[in-house]
Amino acid sequence: MSSDVDLHGVPLTMLWTLHNRASESKRAGGVLRDPDCERIYDSLAFDYERTFGAPDGTHAVRSKKFDDVLRPWLAAHPGGTVVELAAGLETQFQRCDDGLVRWLCVDVPEAIAVRERFLPATERCRYLPISALDLSWMDRVDPGRGVFVTAQGLFMYFQAEQVRALCTAVIERFPGVELMFDTIPPWFSRETVRGFQKTPHYQAPPMPWGIEGSKVPALVRGWSPHVTEVRMSGFAPSHGLLATTAPLFAAVPVLRDIPPAIAHVRTAAG
C-alpha cells in the first residue's frame, strides 16, 4: 500500500475505478475524456497495475452511461440536486456541471478525506462524510427543483434488504426522484463472497448483493407503487474480446444476464 493513501476494504475500490477511468481517458479513442480523473491518477504514488491488473475501461463505460442519462435530466431540471452516493474519486460533477446544479457527495469519512485532497468542496458541490445507509444525508437535500440520486459501484456491497430499504426511503422522501445504480450478476457475487483474487496482490471485497439484470425491473416495482419506469442496460469493457462480444450478450436472452447491468428508475411526482 502506498504511503500516499491509506485505504482498505470497500473504500480502496475507489482507486480500482480511478485506474480504469483514467487509463481509458488517456487511451487514443477512449470512450471517456476526463482530465480531472487523469490529474488525480497521476498525482497518487500508487502502483495501480500491480494491485488491480491491466485496465479494461469497464468503469469508464459505466461512468459514460451515467453521464448520458444525467445530462438530459440536468437540462430539464435547472438548479436541481444530484446526490452521488459512494462518490469516491468519481469526477462526474466536473464532467457534467452546467453551472446551476447543486451536488451532494456522500461517502465514508476515509473516502471523503482523500477526495478533498484533489477535489475541494464548493458551494454547489458539497461533501458529507457518512455512509449512504445513514439516511440523515436526506436532510441536506433541497428537493424543490428535482432530485437525482446516483450510486455507482455501491449496492453490490450491501445486503439485499439494505438496498431495498435505502431505495424505498429515497423514493418515499423525494416524490419524482430519479435513481440510477448498477448491479452485478449472482455468479460474480458468489465469486467475491468466496474470495475473488483480482491479482496476486489484491482480493476484491465481498459483494453479497447479486441479481440478474432482467429481474431488476420487477424487483424495483415491488419496492414502491410510486415507481413508474425502470430502464435497464448492460455494460462491458471498452476494448478487447469482451467489448466486441457485448452486443451478442445483449441480443441473446440466455446470455443477457451474464454481464453487469445499470438501472435507471423514474418515479411519480406525487
User: Is position 144 within any domain?
Assistant: yes
SS3 at position 102: strand
CA distance 157 to 209: 6
Q: How confident is the model at residue 1 (pLDDT cuts 50, 70, 90)?
A: very low
CATH classification at residue 129: 3.40.50.150
Number of domains forming the structure of the chain? 1
User: Is position 142 within any domain?
Assistant: yes
DSSP state for residue 144 in the 8-state scheme: G
CA distance 231 to 215: 12
Please say whether the dihedral angle defined by the alpha carbons of residues 130, 136, 138 and 139, taken in this order, is positive or negative: negative
- Which has the higher per-residue pLDDT, 235 or 189? 189
Beta bridge partners of 238: none
Q: What is the mean pLDDT of the chain?
A: 93
- Number of other CB atoms surrounding residue 252 within 10 Å: 10
User: Is position 137 within any domain?
Assistant: yes
DSSP state for residue 28 in the 8-state scheme: T
- Burial bucket for residue 250 (CB in 10 Å: 0-12, 13-18, 19+): middle
User: Is position 89 within any domain?
Assistant: yes
User: Is position 109 within any domain?
Assistant: yes
* Mean pLDDT for the stretch of residues 166-187: 98
Q: How confident is the model at residue 257 (pLDDT cuts 50, 70, 90)?
A: confident
Domain of 211 in residue numbering reads as 57-267
User: Is position 253 within any domain?
Assistant: yes
User: Is position 14 within any domain?
Assistant: no
Q: What is the dihedral of CA 86, 92, 98, 104, to 10 degrees?
A: 10
SS3 at position 55: coil
pLDDT value of position 2: 40
Place of cell 428535482: 146
